[in-house]
Amino acid sequence: MAFLSGLSAFPITPTNRDGRVDSVALRRLIARLGIAQVDSIGLLGSTGTYIYLSREQRRRALSETLDQTAGQMPVVVGVGALRTDEAVGLAQDAKALGAAAGLLAAASYTPLTDDEVFDHFSTVARESGLPIVVYDNPGTTHFHFSPPLVSRLAKVAGIVAIKNPTDKSDAIKNHLTAQRRTLPEGFSIGYSGDWNAAEAMIAGADTWYSVLAGILPEVCMTIVTAAQQGDAAEARRINAALVPIWSLFKEFSSLRVVYALAELLDVCSAEPPRPILPLPPAAKRQIAAALKGLPSDASR
112 has pLDDT over 80: yes
Determine the residue type at 152. R
Mean pLDDT, rounded, for 242-263: 98
Give φ, ψ of 67 to 5 degrees: -65, -40
Reported as a pLDDT band with limits 50, 70 and 90, residue 170 is confident
Q: What is the mean pLDDT of residues 158-175?
A: 93
The one catalytic residue in 52, 95, 109, 163 is 163
- Dist. CA 44–CA 14, nearest whole Å: 11
What's the pLDDT tens digit per position in 182-198? 999 999 999 999 999 99
Average pLDDT value for residue range 202-225: 98
Task: Answer whether residue 252 is part of any domain.
Answer: no
| Residue 167: per-residue pLDDT | 79
Structural domain boundaries enclosing 196: 6-229
**Predicted pLDDT of residue 70:** 86
Residue 136 confidence (pLDDT) above 70: yes
Band the pLDDT of 295: cuts 50, 70, 90: confident
Distance CA 45, CA 48 (A): 5
**Number of structural domains the chain divides into:** 1
In this predicted structure, the answer to whether residue 48 has a pLDDT above a threshold of 60 is yes
The whole-angstrom separation of Cα 96 and Cα 202 is 36
Q: Is the pLDDT of residue 244 over 80?
A: yes
φ, ψ at 162 (rounded to 5°): -135, 140
Mean pLDDT of the chain: 96
Angle in degrees, CA 270, 13, 248, rounded to 5: 70
**pLDDT interval class at 297 (50, 70, 90):** low
Three-class DSSP category at 189? strand
299 has a pLDDT exceeding 70: no
H or E segment to which residue 238 belongs: helix 232-241
> What amino acid is encoded at 284 in this protein?
K
Residue 249 lies in a domain: no
Contact 153, 106 (CB under 8 A): no
Backbone dihedral angles phi then psi of residue 89, each to the nearest 5 degrees: -60, -40
**What is the CATH classification number for the domain harbouring 143?**
3.20.20.70
Strand partners, 146: none
Catalytic hit among 50, 95, 135, 284: 135
275 in any annotated domain: no
Among 238, 240, 237, 166, residue whose Cα is nearest residue 203: 166
pLDDT score for 83: 98
Beta bridge pairs of residue 21: 15
With a cut of 70, say whether residue 300 has pLDDT above it. Answer: no
Examine the residue annotation and report whether 163 is marked as an active-site residue of this protein. Answer: yes
In a domain, 235, yes or no: no
Residue 135 catalytic?
yes
pLDDT for position 239 = 97
